[in-house]
Structure 1
Amino acid sequence: MDIKTLHDADVIGITTAKTAFDTLATAFGQHVENWQHEVVDRLSHSEWTGATAGHANTRIQTLHSELQAAQQEIGLVSRALQDAYDSFAAAQAHLISALDDARTHKLTVAADGGITWDKDPNSPDFAGTDAENQATQIQNRITAALNEADHADQTISARLGHLATNASNGTGLDSATAKADADAANALQQIPAAGTDPNSVKAWWNGLTDAQQQRMILNHPDQVGNLDGIPAAARDQANRINLKNLIQDRQRQLAGLGPEPRKMLSVAETNGGPVANPAYTEWKRKRDALQEKLAGFQSIQNRFDGKLDGGAGGPSSDPPLLLLGIGDQGQGRAIVSWGDPDKARNVSSLVPGLNSTLAGAGGGDTMTAKRIYDSAVKSAVDNQETPSVASVFWLGYDAPQLDGTSVLTKGRAVEGGAAYNDFLAGLRATHEGTPAHVTAQGHSYGSLVVGQATQHPGGLAADDIVLVGSPGVGVDKASQLGVGADHVYVGRADNDPVANAPSPGMLGGLGAAIYETFAHPDASWHGTDPASQSFGGQRFSVADGTMTDSHDNYFGKRGKGGDSLPNIGKIVSGHGNTITREDPR
């Protein structure tokens, strides 16, 4: 596909062909209906019997089935032509828009796509000081439009070629073949269910034309954006649409609550002393829940609008920030990534723990992932490599809060671990080129989520695992995490109250505590202490901090944490062998 061919393409002619096939399909359908009434029905009600009648009726029924199959096949041609029009029209519009912008910026586009411009500041045709940047952007858009058309050409050509072959050799008269062809066409319009194998999802997505993919994003952003196996760029586009929808939905629901009811019922209403109004209590419960979600979603929107931390994550952010997941299930879901994990050579994915919220995903937790990104980039540079990093913050589960006992049990980690396992499998499926070096990271209760994720069939799609501030990961040995004990890295501050939390057995009274101390000296709340020698992981150096700050400083918050963040950067960049080590306890 070249610029002139796409620019001059008569896409309206495709709709003319589609209309003709629609007319043919309608007429053919009428013939099939007439055949049913005038031949099949008449013979079935006749009194013609005998062997000849039996053979005739069998052949007539077969012929009727063939006619119905042919009608289906004709209809599929019409559907393919509609998809062809949608795809080529979109690609042509994208090309024309890029060429128009080139003229606006005084850039000249050659037939082969090369772009030149007048560089003389004194010339009336001077393209400006930003010409090179504009030329690069426009050239990328032209290339994308041509690729879009090429993809559509190949996909539609294959579909029409298949149907033409069926028509010429008679295969299309077989009802099973027609059904299979119809099922294949319908599958292009049906989004795979959540939990579908990510490789199957990716194959489905690749089978869509660019125009079909775009329609899926626009019409079903909540499903496309959160489906593992969809490429990161498409998920980002869909989730940004869905984020705005979620904000608007919460605003409408808040408005729909109506005015605030009275807080108290009067003495007359209760025949006693004034009491709390149940209507107000219920109204406030709904309002508070909606406002909390709204604040969280708005925080994430502010991040992408560049309103936080000096514009970090905004439209011109470097690296770009992608929204890989957003939803209102439970406490809310949010997955953000600094850099594109489909293209990066090194990918980190951090699971947060206790007290993590939607608001944090838009605020400080996003910057935690950014510090990991920066540290991994520095490590690559220190090792004389070109940095290629993506750093994900994954809040794909209901993190325990301090208002309950969920942090003491592993229920949320089991559920979150299943979702995290699917997410990393999705990143494996959509990554371009050589598989990325993936580091799964868990902080606090998030380390238990990572531990549970590793226990699924096939293991976790990660090469290294980092556990910091961990109360245990649900297994007794690093070797049970599936990546090899030498690829399990553990950071633990001596003054971390979470990592130092006693095991449940220690809470059973003095006698039980004494027994636990001697019988299970390396026990933590959720299994063996990952920082212990018996666990068998690779312990790296961190700052001990204080009881009040050590648990939050593993990722260099407020410049604290000592060697922790640099060590994590080395692991993420694939240089875990260079960490500053610390002896296990």
Structure 2
Amino acid sequence: MRFVPTALVAATLVAAIVVLPAQASHAQVTTTPGLSPSLTTGGGAAPSGPDAGSSLVSSGLLNGLSQLSIGDISRFVGANSTAVTDLLAAPPAAANVAVWWDRLDDVRQSALVQAAPQLVGNLEGVPFIVRDRANRTLLGQSIREAQEAADSGTTSPNGDPKQVLEMLRSVSSALEGEPKQPKRSLLALDTVYPGRAAVVVGDLSTADYVSVLVPGMYFSVKDQLVDWTATAQTLYTAERAWQDYFRGGARSERPDEGIATVAWIGYHTPELGTVGSERQAMEGARFLEQALSGIRSARPGHEPYVSVLGHSYGSTAALITLRSGQVSVDALALMGTPGSETTQSVKDLDVANGNVWVGGALLDPVVGTGFFGTDPGSAAFGARSFDVEGGEDPLSNTVLDGSFGHNEYFKQNSRSLRNLALIALGRGELAAETPSFTSIGPVRLGGITR
């Protein structure tokens, strides 16, 4: 039997009358006879565009949920899981969600985390620390449910219980870092097999530099999230080493200060039979756009330097994302990229100052193909090339390995990893192909000339 909320709140849920305007200062609380309190625009424009209707419905659902009793929240979510899924598929703008969340008191926030962890954990605009707590709650609940289903031989709405359990245990393993490594948090979690997830290395709430790693084909939460998170850790370590270098060797007292890397498997990546189409890249672009918007809107007036590092098919998803006109980043690095038919040049992308970089390793069969359109490595595209060959680092004077084939761009102690870290720190000028110390000039930071 489906749970039916009180008629008063049901009117808010169904009518979806709430508009949370971006101009929060113009919003005011009003009371309509027969309806629960709702926000109306005080001169602000309602959302527009192709998703405006869905956004209004989502906003109405959010406000309606926040006005249910504590017990009714849990019952409504349990009986209307599709409504939560639909809301996350077409959510309100992250800035509007932030306004909604800030208006809730501590008791109501805690109740929503416990009763609707899937919603709170994956809703852009909710504080990152709260999303981590909600997603960990969802993870624990889902593991218990999958284990019970596997033990009893019953079916699960999330898929085959054994596969779901293996997938969720991979998420748990990805969250376990070494004692001296920075903390990890669960930014996103979809428990329906094959799932989606994003694990953060570092503190996304305070980081000055945020790097989002977007993978290509054959990447699944069950089989690759642990390794992809290890890759994010490797990049974090490289960025941290360069950050210390530019500080003149001074190491921060906080191990996670300034940097966060995101192991993002936020879409269902293609397999051999589907990699010839951009369809899944378009799906990935939709989710990536939402994730980047959430990062961008989390700290108004103090946004981090955001870079996207896309590998293989993931670079295609990144290109589509930044071609949409809905979100921008500070740097984009493409590795082993097949391009995208939607993007003909750097000028098509919302990347600050055209800060787009392309790396192509020797014997990488994808490099130079332009499989989906213009080759991003071509001169006509307008991106800059970063060096992936081995040799001596002109700054540290250490010998770095070269990258070969399609899967060595994040290889430890490689020039490619070194240059990706520099690009992510806004030091792309030091990553150009065949750099020389004399052409770069001395770097003076922290009182030390290098």
TM norm. shorter chain > 0.5: yes
Shift of 1:360: 4.2
Task: State the Cα deviation string for residues 239-269 of structure 1 (Å, max 9, x = none).
Answer: 01111122222223323436xxxxxxxxxxx
Question: Offset of 1:234 from its aligned partner?
Answer: 0.5
Give distance in 2, aligned partners of 1:340 and 1:360.
Answer: 25
Give ranges in structure 2 of 5+ residues lacking alignment: 1-7, 9-27, 40-62, 74-83, 391-399, 436-450
Q: Distance in 1 between matches of 2:160 and 2:372?
A: 31
Instruction: Tell me, in whole angstroms, the C-alpha distance in 2 between the residues paired with 1:554 and 1:482.
Output: 24
- Does residue 541 (structure 1) correspond to residue 396 (structure 2)? The answer is no
Structural mapping, 1:15-94, within 5 Å = none
Which segment drifts farther, 429-438 or 334-343? 429-438
Q: Which moved more, 1:322-331 or 1:564-573?
A: 322-331
Shift of 1:329: 3.8
Go from structure 1 to structure 2 and tell me whether the alpha carbon gap of 1:317 and 1:289 turns closer, same or farther (over 3 Å shift). Answer: farther
- Paired residue for 1:576? 428
Counterpart position of 2:171: 300
Q: Where does residue 416 of structure 2 map in the other structure? A: 564
Whether 1:487 and 2:355 are equivalent positions in the alignment is: yes
Larger Rg: 1
CA-CA distance at 1:199 after TM superposition: 0.6
Residue of structure 1 equivalent to 2:186: 323
Residues 398, 412 of structure 1: 8 Å contact kept: yes
Maintained 8 Å contact 1:485/1:536? no
Does the Cα contact within 8 Å between 1:377 and 1:573 map onto a contact in 2?
Answer: no
Q: CA deviation at 1:359?
A: 2.8
1:299–1:482 distance in 2 versus 1, CA, 3 Å: same
* Alignment root-mean-square deviation, CA: 3.2
Q: Measured at CA, do residues 376 and 346 of structure 1 come closer, stay the same or move farther in structure 2, by a change above 3 Å?
A: same
| Equivalent runs, 1:100-119 vs 2, <5 Å | none
Q: Secondary structure in 2 aligned to 1:408? A: coil
| TM-score, L = length of structure 1 | 0.55
Secondary structure in structure 2 of the residue aligned to 1:347: strand
Deviations 1:16-59 (A, max 9, x none): xxxxxxxxxxxxxxxxxxxxxxxxxxxxxxxxxxxxxxxxxxxx
The C-alpha deviation readout for 1:352-377, integer Å capped at 9, x for no partner, is: 11111113454211011111111111
Residue 306 of structure 2: which of 429, 433, 438 is its match?
438
Q: Which moved more, 1:420-429 or 1:378-387?
A: 378-387
Whole-angstrom CA distance in 1 between matches of 2:404 and 2:355: 27
Match of 2:137 among 241, 259, 270: 241
- Normalising by structure 2, report the TM-score: 0.71
Match of 1:552 in 2: 407
Spell out the pairing of 1:120-519 with structure 2 (5 A cutoff): 182-183=37-38, 186=64, 188-189=66-67, 193-194=87-88, 195-257=91-153, 289-304=160-175, 306=176, 311-312=177-178, 316=179, 318-329=181-192, 331-384=194-247, 388-402=258-272, 405-431=273-299, 434-458=302-326, 460-474=327-341, 475-483=343-351, 486-500=354-368, 502=369
Amino acid at match of 2:38: D
In the alignment, the residues of structure 2 paired with residue 294 and residue 345 of structure 1 have an alpha-carbon distance, to the nearest angstrom, of 35
> Within 2, Cα distance between the matches of 1:189 and 1:489?
48
Query: Is the CA contact (8 Å cut-off) linking 1:439 and 1:464 kept in structure 2?
Result: yes
Q: Does the residue aligned with 2:286 lie in a helix, a strand or coil? A: helix
3-state SS, counterpart of residue 262 of structure 2:
strand
Paired with 2:172 and 2:247, the residues of 1 have a C-alpha distance of 36
Q: Residues 242 and 178 (structure 1 numbering): CA distance in 2 closer, same or farther, change over 3 Å? A: same
Percent identical across equivalent pairs? 29
Distance, in Å, in 1 between the alignment partners of 2:333 and 2:211 is 10
* Structure 1 residues 62-103: Cα deviation after superposition (integer angstroms, max 9, x where no partner): xxxxxxxxxx9xxxxxxxxxxxxxxxxxxxxxxxxxxxxxxx
Task: Judge conservation of contact 2:331–2:355 (CA < 8 Å) in 1.
Answer: yes
Q: Taking structure 1 as reference, are residues 371 and 176 closer, same or farther at Cα in structure 2, changes over 3 Å only?
A: closer
1:531 to 356, 371, 377: 377
3-state SS of 1:337 partner: strand
- Higher mean C-alpha displacement, 352-361 vs 440-449: 352-361
Alpha carbons of structure 1 residues 416 and 287: separation in structure 2 relative to 1, 3 Å: closer
Alpha-carbon contact 1:341-1:431 (below 8 Å) kept: no
2:5 match: none
Alpha-carbon distance between aligned partners in 1 of 2:167 and 2:113, rounded to the nearest angstrom? 23
Q: What corresponds to 1:517 in structure 2?
A: none
Residue identity matched to 1:376: E
Distance 1:330 1:453, change over 3 A: farther
- Please list every run of at least 4 consecutive aligned residues from structure 1 whose deviation after the TM superposition is greater than 4 angstroms: 175-181, 184-187, 286-289
8 Å Cα contact 1:418-1:456 kept in structure 2: no
2:138 is matched by which residue type in structure 1? N
The answer as to whether partners of 1:300 and 1:361 remain within 8 angstroms in 2 is: no
The answer for the alignment partner of 1:261 in structure 2 is: none
Write the distance in 2 (CA, Å) between the matches of 1:251 and 1:498.
41
Contact 1:188 1:207 in 2 (8 A): no
Between the aligned partners of 2:267 and 2:331, the Cα distance in structure 1 is 21
CA contact (8 A) 1:236 1:324 kept: yes
Deviation at 1:331?
1.9
CA distance in 2 between counterparts of 1:451 and 1:389 reads 24
Q: Residue 351 of structure 1: CA displacement?
A: 0.8
> Would you say the 8 A contact 1:235–1:323 is kept in 2?
yes
Superposed CA deviations along residues 512-570 of structure 1, whole A, max 9, x for unmatched, are xxxxxxxxxxxx11111111111110100013899x962111112xx36x311111111
Letter in 1 for 2:285: G
Opposite residue 406 of structure 2, the aligned amino acid is H
| Partner AA of 1:490 in structure 2 | V
Q: Which has the higher helix share?
A: 1
Alpha-carbon separation, structure 2, partners of 1:360 and 1:187: 36
CA shift, 1:211, in A, is 2.0
